Amino acid sequence: MASARASSSLLLFTSSVLLFATLCAATVPYAPGLLESFYNDTCPQAASIVRSYVLKYLTTDSSFAGAFNRLQFHDCWVQGCDGSVLLNSTSTNSAEREAHVNFGLRGLQEVDEIKAALEYACPGVVSCADLLILAARDATFLAGGPWWPVGLGRRDSRVSNDLSADGNLPFPVFPFDILVANFASKNFNAREMVVLSGAHTIGRSHCNGILPHIYNFTGGNNETDTDPTLNPGFAAYLKRNCPFGNRDNSIPIDSTSGKFDNAYYKNVQNGKGVFITDSTLITTTLGNSIVSSFAEGDSTFFQEFADAMVKMGNLGVLTGSQGEIRQKCQFVN
């Protein structure tokens, strides 16, 4: 159960939401079959259960905010928002969570704990797919980001495959044009791509995705071959924390890690992008213009991020009699 401190903080959280929701309400319509009120009769406490556990995790480790955001993105970008990223591999199938692009995926055990609490309160009612959407929203808000309403009613997939994840999710080495094409395949434009990249403001990464940025940048197997656009002092910092060949160390992606703000865009402007996909945002006139606008304190970043997350939550949803409501997120029923 959440601690007394978490319970007290939850009351403050809920009060803040009532004041803040009208300011950052998303303007994107929900996919057919999704309703904000979906669990009002069958599990009215669903949202508060998820919220209390997310608060507990962030109180212990603020980097879970980025972990829950990443889980929504890595779920929805592969065959839709259907909880497939949570499934375990079997003897005959390698699941999404084993994909190269999902290296270091965090929050899976925590999601299982939240699901167990939901099953205790409302057996067989709340999907793992909806759990991920709620957790990402709550984690963002608790980290100081926008609040947005979410449509609910997704059901869980019975299918998960690592090749599908590697074939759909963007790798941290993609240049700007490939990133734009990847997002366009999901009907997101270049601006929305830059908006969602802003989730890195609360991210943390293993060195696995950083190494190509600071070693062997042009493919010559050279330890001194670093992206020349990186701020030299920042490149040295990355190399200290990610020695050549070390995939497992981890560092914050943003200088204000744990706080959702626009510092990410300021860092990218100053040559302090952790991934190639960060630094590449200012390599084109279009990307540089968008980054510059979000780096301004009075930008529309929060509102646009909320809208993009709602739009992402509409991707490929299963509703009605499709899929199932898993009893445990790791396994099909």
Reduce the DSSP state of residue 104 to 3 states and report it.
coil
pTM of the entire predicted model: 0.91
pLDDT tens across 184-202, in order? Answer: 999 999 999 999 999 999 9
DSSP secondary structure string, 4-67? Answer: HHHHHHHHHHHHHHHHHTTTS---SPPPTT-BTTTTTTT-TTHHHHHHHHHHHHHHH-TTHHHH
State yes or no: 84 annotated in a binding site.
Answer: yes
Q: List the structure tokens of 280.
A: 């590449």
Does the pLDDT value for residue 14 go beyond 50? no
74 is catalytic: yes
Helix (H) or strand (E) holding 117: helix 108-121
State yes or no: 119 annotated in a binding site.
Answer: no
Residue type at position 234 = F
State yes or no: 213 annotated in a binding site.
Answer: no
Helix (H) or strand (E) holding 294: helix 285-295
State yes or no: 175 annotated in a binding site.
Answer: no
Does the pLDDT value for residue 25 go beyond 70? no
Give the Cα separation of 262 and 275 in Å (integer).
17
Which of 74, 100, 206, 213 is the catalytic position?
Answer: 74
State yes or no: 100 annotated in a binding site.
Answer: no
By mean pLDDT, which of 85-89, 191-195, 202-206, 289-293 is the weakest?
202-206
Nearest to 291 by CA among 267, 261, 258: 267
